[in-house]
Amino acid sequence: MTAQLRFQDLTLGYDRHPAVHHLDGDVATGALMAVVGPNGAGKSTLFKGIVGTLKPLAGDIARGGVDPHDIAYLPQIAEIDRSFPISVYDMVSMGLWRSAGLFGGIGRKQHERIHQAIAAVGLTGFEQRAIGTLSGGQIQRMLFARLLLQDARVIVLDEPFNAIDAKTCADLLDLVRRWHSEKRTVLAALHDVDLVKANFPETLLLAREKVAWGETAKVLTPENLLKARRMCEAFDEEAAACAVEVA
**Whole-number pLDDT of residue 243:** 44
- Fold annotation for 1-66+154-163+179-241: Rossmann fold (3.40.50)
The dihedrals phi and psi of 98, each to the nearest 5 degrees, come to: -70, -30
Cα of first residue to Cα of last residue in the chain, in angstroms, is: 34
State pTM to two decimals: 0.90
Query: Quick check: 244 pLDDT over 60?
Result: no
Strands 3-14 and 32-36: what pairing? unpaired
Lowest average pLDDT, out of 4-8, 47-51, 59-63, 237-241, goes to: 237-241
How many C-beta neighbours within 10 Å does residue 182 have? 11
User: By the 8 A CB rule, do 227 and 238 touch?
Assistant: no
Contacts 24+ apart (CB under 8 A), 109-113: 113/149
Q: Where in the chain is the domain with CATH 3.40.50.300?
A: 1-66+154-163+179-241
For 93-126, write each residue's pLDDT tens digit.
Answer: 999 987 665 555 677 889 999 999 999 999 999 9
